[in-house]
Chain A
């Protein structure tokens, strides 16, 4: 069992190359918690903006008639990976974990695996 702060801390310490992480409510676009970031990466802005990414993909799936849920979304930049993991909670209002990784240092498969583990620990 972990609270949001320890879960985010774990995300940025355990996951190699992590630059910052946020737990985001994708209806309101609010970051319930953030860690890391800084002047190069404003995580509250990232939280609100990535909400639109998640919503757009969910809408597309509706239009395609796909009944599956989204596990994660990966966005690859020149020097970074941005990963979004949707939380499948019982009573949650639609949350996702967002993490920005340094592409040089990150191990993508490992990062995905660890993010999954952190989600499980959050028990939402």
Chain B
């Protein structure tokens, strides 16, 4: 099972810390121990979510950052200037926060650092208790596994399955399938569509379970005529390795 617990985050929440927690796959911004913002290279940012849908023009986003970024009030500026409604901004920001936090809290091997006193320029939107964010990250991990337990789908280039089926897909799924070209990863598709990355992972796993999408098939190895000597070679090493892998796979599925 994928655990998302970060002991350091729990401690920082307890001491009501303010600053940024930097982990392998993203960063969490805290204010008084609550999570106020999150970022991850795997998840589209608020700017992508707002601009890709045509909701906000990219130049207006850039203008808001230029005008209010220095005083950490970009969110407030967007609302006060009437460009985005308060409820809409909050929902979009919460979506981006939980999305990035899911990746930021994924198990990693690198060091975890916390820099005290750092605030994000987006400014105050809606703080979320750290334990709520952790609980949601764990729930998301379990949900993905329950749909189709192949995490390798999350980061590999995906393509449509060659088999045609009569299954109907929703317009949202269709838009995703149209971008599954064997080059883009789910994260790249999410960015292109302007949707949260986790929502895209969910749809990719659902489509994979339905047999509509797959990890890009490796180009077939050129088959060369097998020499007689190779056939005569006792494949004992290969067999034991294969058997070990089979045993591991069987044990893992128990």
| Chain A contact residues, CB within 8 Å of chain B | 1-5, 7, 23, 25, 27-30, 32-33, 48, 58-59, 62-63, 89-95, 121-124
Q: State the majority secondary structure of interface residues on B.
A: helix
B77 on the interface (CB 8 Å rule)?
no
Q: Size of chain B's interface in residues, with CB distance under 8 A? A: 31
| Chain B contact residues, CB within 8 Å of chain A | 49-50, 53-55, 85-88, 90-92, 94-95, 98, 126, 136, 139-140, 143, 168-170, 172, 194-196, 198-199, 202-203
Q: Which residues of A contact B98 (CB under 8 A)?
A: 28, 30
Contact of B140 among A4, A28, A93 (CB under 8 A): A28
* 29 A–B contacts from the bound complex (CB under 8 Å): A3-B86, A4-B91, A4-B94, A4-B126, A7-B87, A27-B172, A27-B196, A27-B202, A27-B203, A28-B140, A28-B143, A28-B196, A28-B198, A29-B139, A30-B139, A30-B140, A32-B94, A59-B170, A62-B168, A62-B169, A90-B53, A90-B54, A91-B53, A91-B54, A91-B92, A123-B88, A124-B85, A124-B87, A124-B91
Q: Which residues of B contact A29 (CB under 8 A)?
A: 139, 143
- Which residue on chain B has the smallest CB distance to residue A92? B91
**How far apart are the CA atoms of A14 and B117 in the complex, in Å?**
41
- A122–B95 CB distance below 8 A: no
**How far apart are the CA atoms of A59 and B170 in the complex, in Å?**
7
Q: Which residues of B contact A123 (CB under 8 A)?
A: 85-88
- A3–B87 CB distance below 8 A: yes
